[in-house]
Every structure is written in C-alpha cells, then in structure tokens.
Structure 1
Amino acid sequence: MSVTRRSLIAAAALAAPLPLRAQTQARLLVIGGGFGGASAANFARRSFPWLEVTLVEPRTRFVTCPYGNLVLAGTRQIGDISHGYDGLRARGVRVVHDWATGIDPAARQVRLRGGETLAYDRLILSPGIALRWDALPGYDEAAAERLPHAWVPGDGAQTLLLRRQLEEMPDGGVVGLAIPANPFRCPPGPYERISMIASYLKRHKPRAKILALDAKDAFSKQALFQDGWNALYPGLIEWVPANRDGKVTRVDAAERVLETEFGTRHKVDVGNVIPPQSAARIAIDTGLADASGWVPVNPVTFESRAAPGIHVVGDANIPGPMPKSGYVANSTAKQAVASAAASLRGEAPPTAIYYNTCYSHVGEDYGISVVGIYRPNAEGSAIVEVPNSGGVSPRGDLPDQRRLEAQYADGWYASITRDMFG
C-alpha cells in the first residue's frame, strides 16, 4: 500500500461520520507482536487515531526470522535482528507483555495468563505458527536441544544454539537439514539457510559438507539458488528431493541420525530439523483453524470464517497462493485493520490488494528475489495472483545484479522493521 493510499485512508477515517462507539474510541486488540501484529498496531495508530489500540505480546524483544540465517553465517549478530516496542508505545499503543491464553468470540474478550481480561470491539490475531511435535517421530522439544529447528526464533536461543554447533563442528563434518513439505513458514527460508551455512563453512571449515533432505521435489527460487550454489559452493551442497528418498520420516536425536522414507539412515555432525507446522495453539484452541491446521479467512477482510470480528493475519492463516512471508503479513495486516475500522464505522471494507517481495541471500553480496501481487477474485471468494504481476530475479552471470539485490534486501529489512515497530 503506497503512502498516498495510506494518507487517503487516514483522511477518510477522520472525515467520515462515525457511529458513537467509533467517536469515543473503539477498542482494537492485537495479539502477537511480530510481522503481522506489530504492523497492525502501528498502522492502526497512524491511520485511525480514534482506535484505542492494545498489543499483547509476551516477549519484550522480538527476534525476526528474516535475517536469522545471516546470524548463522556470522555476518549478523542476534542483537541486529532483535526489536523492542518502545516505538509503538510512543505512538500511543498500549503494550501488554503477557500470554493470551483464551479467546471468547461471543463476549469479545481475551484472557491473559497473568489474570487480566481484555475486552475488544475488533481483534487482530497474529499468533504465528506452532511446530507440530507429533508429526515427525523422534523429534520433540527435548530433541530440539540437540537437533535445533531455529524456526521459531523466540528469544534467539535456537538460532544461537545452531550457530554454536556449527562453530564446534570439526572441519570435514556433515551438516544435515530436514526440510518439510508445504505449507510452512517462509518457503525460501531453508534454502537461504543452506546458502548461509555454506558461506560460513566455505570460510571456516572448507572440507565440510551439507546434506539437505527435502520432503518436496521442488522449491521456491530453485533455479536461482542452485545457480548460486554451483557458482559459490561447488561440491559443498547435496540437495536430495523427495523422489530420491529425501523425505525425513524419523529422527534419532541421541545419535544425530536423520532417517528417510525408505529406511536410509544419515548420520550427521550437526542437524537442523525443520518440522511440519500449523497455526499457533490459540488459533486451534479457539476453533478458528480447520482440519489443515491453518485458519480459513475472508479474502477481503481477513476475518476468520469461524468467528466474525476476529481478523487473522500472518503465518497462521490460509492465504491461498500467497506465501507465508513477513511481507505478506505486513501487507495483509494493513488491510485487516482498515477493514476492521470500516466495519466499526458501518462501511464496506476498502478494495484489497496484497504484495509480496521476498529477498534471499545466497552469499556475500549475492541476493535474489521473487515478487508477487495478489487480490481477491471478482466474487470475493478467494485470493488470486494478479496476471503477469510476479517474477523472479534474472538468471545468468550478473554480479552487479546480485550485489544490488543484496543491498535491496538490507534496505527492505530496515524499512519493514521500522514500519512494524514505529
């Protein structure tokens, strides 16, 4: 959404004749302080100052998934990807550091672990994902302390654990990755991770190898990633797709063994297991998720199909062809807030259009990207990609292009985190 469009929405919000509730500050409650929730809270305060905005987030610092792979490469520190909430407080957002433990959609109330109950007129739910500990035999929370996932950053401990294991691994060791089937958070993420681990190994442990075992036969930006691997890390990376027995079906954490579908046992020195995922527990417990484990939503307003008044954004929903990415979370959060504000005024939601740009680092000064633009179909029943709107970086020996895209990635990260955290 452009600055001009945001300004128009804000101006319309201020000028429109409002119902009594809106004139006396309607209550917008946001659960989750990541790419969806923080974006929603900041956008709401900027664009609809008559909204009383409360953000519930248990952690005082948010560690982003984007750029976490660069921590593994050693080119970023955990502090570089950690963000606080003082900027949102300065904008007038009430920030409550607590866990939301229950939602009552009928009473429009949320219970917190600390005992407080918060009432709302509209709820933006952005709880993120849960790792499905029951989906991969042998892999549970205890196993993750030996074979880290580093996929739900939390306080950064999992990312730092994987980084430490890479540092302690002997030169000549094998780093094994178990990559899940779709859908999961950040489709290009595992392959950027392969790239960044390879970058670290090339500099510090040149005799080491990466074995990437994949439950899929293809992946996002595949040709671009593999071009980069061949150019930068020849012989270092072996990617094994599902049709070549790449699907990991069992884990032995004690022995650091990844076992595949046809019984092949791969002993590794460092293991990164990215398990199957679902919407976070609160979305499932509230009855918002369907049998897929994800939350179906209205493509225009992002309201839950199961509970009107609750707009579900970020990785927890089913976004049709859109990936589960930080950019999509940011883009859809703004539409959800604008739709919530319109509903409180008794108006129709604004026209919806959603954007995704996903940058990936393949090596030092080597970036690639994919772009997509999406909107609801004519019936408003599903999200579709705008014809001829998407694309990926060009292939070929283009060092200037790769260098620029790495710089654009840095600019994107700085820009979107400012947009999130005020």
Structure 2
Amino acid sequence: MRKNLWKRVAAAAVCLTVLVVAQAAPFQAADDSYKDEINDLNGKISALKKEQAAIQADIDKAKNDKSKKEKEKKQLQNQVYLAQQEIELLTSRIGTLEGNIAQKESEIKDKQAQIDANYEQFKQRMRAMYLNDDSTVLGVVFGADSYSDFLTRTEMLQRTSAHDKKMIDELLEAKRAIEEALAEIQANKAQVEEDKSDMSAQKANLAVKVQEVAKQEMQLADLQKEFEAQKAQKQKEEKEAQAEIQRIYAENESIGDYVGGDFQWPVTGFRTITSRFGWRFGGSDYHTGIDIAGRNSSGSAIFQQPIRAANAGKVIYASNSYTPGRGYGRYVIIDHGGGMSTLYGHQNSVYVSVGDYVAQGETIGEVGTTGWSTGPHLHFEIRKNGTAVNPANYFNI
C-alpha cells in the first residue's frame, strides 16, 4: 500500500519535470518586415488605379471628334502602360508573399519537430518510470536530508514544471499563429493571382482598344480625304440625300402623339462614337447624326451586330437598294409620333418594311458599311419635325 502511494507521488513529480532536460529554444517571433513591402506595393497599385480613373475621366470630357480620338488614343496608350506597371507590381507582391510563405512553412516545420521531440521524450520517461525500480524515484523525492530540504526540492520541481508548461504553451501558440498567418498569406496570394489575371485581360483589352481607335481615326481621315478630293460632288450628293429625306417626311404624316419614354441606345454594348453631330472636316460638312462603331467589352466587332429600334413606332422608310459610295446606303426611318423620328444608316441588312409597327428594342437590321462609308458603323439620327437634332440631348454621350 505504502509502496503504491510512493509510486503515485513519484510519478506526479516526474510528470512535472518531464520537459526539464529537453527544453526547446525560445520561440522567435516571425519576421513581419515583408508587410511593409506589401503595404508599399499596395499603395503604388492604388495610386495607379487612381491615375487610370483620372485618365478615363479625361477621355470622357473630350468633346471634339478629332481631338477626342487623338486624345483617347493617347490616353489609352497611357492606360496600357499603367496596366503593365500594375502587373509588374502585382508580380513583385506575389514574389514577396511566396517568399514569406516559404519562410513560415520552414518555421512551422521546425517548431513541430521541437514539439514532437519533447513529446517523445515525455513518453520515454513515463515508460522508464513504470519499468524502473522505485529507488530511483524515491531518491529524487526522498533523498532530502531534512523536511525543509524536501519542501525545497518539491517547490523546485513545481516551478520547473510551470516554466516548462509555459514554454510548450508558447510553442503551441506560436505554431497556431504561424499557421493563421500562412492561411492569410495564401488567401492574399490567391487574390493577387486573380488580380494579375484580370490585369492581363485588361491589358489585352486596352491593346485592342488602341488598335480600334487607330483604325477609327484612319476611317474618319479616309472619309475626310475622300470628301476633300470630291468636295463639290459629295456636297451635291449630301443635298440630294437630305432632299430625299424631306420628301419622305412630307409624304408620311406623323402617327399622332409621341409614343413617350426615353430613347434606347440602338446598338447594345457598342458606345464608341467616331463622328459626332454637327460641323466637321473644317466646317465644310454638317453631320446630321452620330456614327457608332468599334468593339464591345468582349472584343466583338460591330459589323453585322443587331440594330434595335430606339423607340416604338411605324416604319416610314426602309431601303434595301443603294448606290455604293453614296448617301446612307441601306437605311430605315421610324416615326415615333409627335414629329419625332429616328434614322439608321449604312445597314448591312434591313429586317423591316414600310408600314411595319415595331416595339422599342426590336431588331430592325444589322450594322454594315453600305453607302458613303469607309468602315462598319451605324449612322444614327434623331429628328424633330424632319430637322436633325443632336442625339447628345437624348443620350449620355
């Protein structure tokens, strides 16, 4: 009975001292200096985004056709450059995060090895305690020369045990902290990879836009060259085209009151305007509408894209025949009542006929380059009592 009691006392004492010999090295806090670099990169990326937004706002403020195209081209080139810089910064951020991840993985491995080693020694001591003779254990606890010495030894063992327990708790807490940091950095890395992919797509899209702007500039320049080379003839043809339109309006009374509501943009997803309403070519040609061209956000070209009725109404003109190089080519006029009408020129195909009633948004044809045109686009007009008015007064363009 007494022997078993001393065994239990000795075992308790050994449990308190199990890590005395195998103490791990004090845990060193992980190096968080990389966070300063990440914050610096984040600041630069944020600044680039603000600069890009400012450039886009500058583009949107441009009014004049030619200056708008030239400015848009230049600013788009700047955006491409900024996108490239942003990708480089994102790449640097990824490299920094990956290096920190590798460091933390190594720290976790080392700390886990320390914990495993201590635990293994704990198991070995417990096994030795169970198998060895009691004298060894009794020598530890009862080898004291006096009762005071016994108390001193017991207190020492307790304090040593408390120190070792604190040490192992710190190791475990450090391991948890590193694992949490690793999880956070891996999540950040995934986000950065996504950002990099998005920026690569943006860069490709911007490159396409630059090419498209250059192409649009060439089309407008070609149109101007053709106009200047045959100025008298083109002015004569334009007068004839306008006279034909006035004849159409004279022969077709408006259907009644205006059908109401706002006008709908005629080519969904395509917002690039290559030539605006009003005087152009140095004041020698008056453009009675706007030319819509370019590509949409997914990169699709406008050619053969569906043209949709800007509002409900009656088709009062639909032409499937045309003379190449002259006028509006294949075009449609829709009367919306109250003297309001819309015209859709240079169509590749016309899907409606005179007398048809169409709903707002209904497809009436597809974009082409028929008539006097140097590239695929939709010439779109809004007229009031037969007189062309600026579509900018009806759309946010």
What's the TM-score, normalizing by structure 1?
Answer: 0.26
Higher relative contact order (CA 8 A, sep 6+): 1
Counting helix residues as a fraction of each chain, which structure ranks higher? 2
Larger radius of gyration: 2
The TM-score normalised by the length of structure 2 is 0.27
